[in-house]
Structure 1
Amino acid sequence: MANLTRWSPFKALSRFEQAAPFDDFIRTLGLRPQWADLEAPDVRIDVTENDGAYRVKAEIPGVDKNDIDVSISGNQVAISAEIKRESKKKDDERDICTERYYGQVYRSFSLPDEVDSGKASAHYESGVLTLELPKKGNGSARKLTIS
């Protein structure tokens, strides 16, 4: 008996996956696949740094800026958002394939230095959230002399 594996559109197909051609054949017949293994999309980030601040760019497409929450605690940054799906269909329409995700997405990460959350700012445009995170002044730091 052959081993069958479930195809996931969000995972890269390998050349060793034998069920992929069969799934492609079924999909072309107009059958509606069961997407039980959908995974939440990743919040992809780019982090840059200069002497005084960090800049974080996070891709969160399809989200209203009022549905994004950013929290900062020390050097920990957490970004969460709710992706909503509007379902405006006519009576004579039916779904053939729905791959777009809706629900909660979350990403948290640590930065090397603490962030001054009182001076931090956020801007959301064209699906990209940009955070300006000034570094907290470390007044208690001192240089040690090695003897």
Structure 2
Amino acid sequence: MSLIPRDSWSDFYHLFDHAFPSIRPSFNIESFSPRVDVLDKETAFEIIADLPGVEKDDISVSCQHGTLTIEASTLKNEQKTDGDKVIHRERYQGKMVRSFTLGDNINAKEIYAEYQDGVLVVVVPKIEMKPDETAQHIKIN
């Protein structure tokens, strides 16, 4: 399986690491993608995503055209009392999306997810490829 994270926002964000360091702290695009670990186990791939502050009903996991997508949203809390003003805000509120390109050796119909204590675990079962189904090395002149 070629589990390659599709993280164009993070790639875009890293352009600013060296080019424009003065605006980096105020332009934090990385917040739009949840942090994930991808584990290659014997019978499945596991994608573990940190989704703090997200309710289970606000998470969507889908697989379409070979792409696994994790979407989650948190509600903006506008509760203020008279005289309160926000001095600094770091907690992300809004929609988060992360996508992964899946390979040919997975069983998309058997993918399942579990969510507990702000951590989402998506299990992508592998299927065993027959030797004639695997990619052959072809030299192109």
* CA apart distance, 1:38: 4.5
How far apart, in 2, do the equivalents of 1:81 and 1:40 lie?
A: 15
| Counterpart in the other structure of 1:94 | 85
The share of aligned pairs that are identical, in percent, is 30
Larger Rg: 1
> What are the equivalent positions in structure 2 for 1:6-17 lying under 5 Å apart?
none
> What are the equivalent positions in structure 2 for 1:1-147 lying under 5 Å apart?
37-41=27-31, 42-73=33-64, 75-136=66-127, 138=129, 141-143=130-132
Structure number with higher relative contact order (C-alpha < 8 Å, ≥ 6 residues apart): 2
Question: Structure 1 pair 74/114, CA: closer, same or farther in 2 (3 Å)?
Answer: farther
Structure with the bigger percentage of helix: 2
How far apart, in 2, do the equivalents of 1:84 and 1:100 lie?
A: 11
* CA apart distance, 1:118: 2.6
How far apart, in 1, do the equivalents of 2:88 and 2:50 lie?
A: 24
RMSD: 3.1
Deviates more, 1:124-133 or 1:38-47: 38-47
Unpaired segments of 5 or more residues in structure 1?
1-9, 21-34
TM-score, normalised with respect to structure 1: 0.62
Unpaired segments of 5 or more residues in structure 2?
1-12, 134-141
Aligned residue-pair number: 116
